[in-house]
Amino acid sequence: MIRVDDLSITYGDLRALDDVSLDIEDGEFVTIVGPSGCGKTTLLRTIGGLETPTTGSVRVDGDSPDAAQSDARLGFVFQDHTLLPWKTALENVTFLRRMAGKDPDPEGARDLLATTGLDGFGDARPAELSGGMKQRVAIARAIHLGADVLLMDEPFGELDEITRDEMSVEILRLWRENRKTVVFVTHSVPEAVFLGDRCLVVSGSSAAGGAGRIVAEFDIDLPRPRDESVFGSEAFGQQVARVRSALHDDA
Ligand SMILES: Nc1ncnc2c1ncn2[C@@H]1O[C@H](COP(=O)(O)OP(=O)(O)OP(=O)(O)O)[C@@H](O)[C@H]1O
Ligand SMILES: [Mg+2]
């Protein structure tokens, strides 16, 4: 379980996050939407132990994020994919797992590359891949690490709409099979609704003098498993409208 308690983060005079409290259950898929600059990445990085709370605390199964990270219990997909340029796609996927001292699983790594649409690109270096392909390698790498918690920061940001929809369905399938806890940041309201058990709306751009806060929270009661047919359903449209209006109300 992830527990965020009264978390605030300031950078000098800038307050990026203000008094954020949040519990995430094991195996839950939580999505976070909000405008640019409202502190989504900061929140994710703090849960991952990459930022230190100015006040308040973060606990992952009762431990500090640092401890969880050093046990490879946290997997990241960043906004910029951070692949190692000198390694092939396949080596990039397997590298973190090897560093973490987990059992090698080359078959699993190859399957993940295929699942993410990169069959045949295992030997390619990042420079030979498009932005979206690199992002998919980073997703495969995070899943392959086998961490209990996946922290994903706009992982589909560089993908075209169709691949994005396909990857959304694929991520849900992988999540169903592996039962990870996922915290997923996105700019896309439909994506947040399609993926999440729960959707948090963060608002308050620090550029405009505000600080990021959770302004609304929605339980997404769409049946699972969800596939592309959900996008056209009335219930989906209604949920999207609700989340959108929370975003706009606050803006
Ligand atoms: N290391 C840092 N030092 C100083 N300010 C920072 C730092 N990291 C983030 N900020 C500021 O904190 C605020 C929140 O940034 P953050 O990256 O969390 O926003 P975001 O919601 O992820 O935005 P986007 O949707 O554009 O990715 C911004 O005003 C940003 O300038
Ligand atoms: Mg961000």
Ligand found nearest the CA of 18: 1
pLDDT in tens, 74-97: 999 988 778 999 999 999 999 999
Q: Work out which ligand 1 atom sits closest to the CA atom of 51.
A: 1
* H-helix segments, the chain: 40-47, 65-70, 89-99, 106-115, 131-145, 161-178, 189-195, 234-250
Q: Which CATH superfamily is domain 2-73+149-250 in?
A: P-loop containing nucleotide triphosphate hydrolases (3.40.50.300)
**Ligand 1 shell residues, CB under 6 Å:** 11, 14, 16, 34, 36-42, 206-207
pLDDT over 80 at 199, yes or no: yes
Q: Work out which ligand 1 atom sits closest to the CA atom of 45.
A: 18
Confidence of residue 209 (pLDDT cuts 50, 70, 90): low
pLDDT in tens, 16-67: 999 999 999 999 999 999 999 999 999 999 999 999 999 999 999 999 999 9
Average pLDDT estimate for 205-211: 64
Mutate which of 206, 213, 214, 247 for ligand 1? The one with the most ligand atoms within 8 Å of its CB, which is 206
pLDDT at 18: 93
**How would you list the strands of the sheet with 14-24, edge to edge?**
14-24, 2-11, 55-60
Q: Which residue ranges make up each domain of the chain?
A: 2-73+149-250, 83-146
Nearest CA to ligand 1 atom 3: 11
pLDDT over 90 at 216, yes or no: yes
The count of other CB atoms within 10 Å of the CB of residue 204 is 23
pLDDT over 80 at 12, yes or no: yes
Nearest CA to ligand 1 atom 7: 11
- Are 2 and 60 within 8 A, CB to CB? yes
How far is residue 83's CA from residue 91's CA, in Å, rounded to a whole number?
10
The pTM score is 0.93
Q: 41: CA distance to ligand 1 center in Å?
A: 7
Ligand found nearest the CA of 208: 1
Which one, of 115, 128, 119, lies nearest residue 172 by Cα? Answer: 115
First-to-last CA distance in the chain? 31
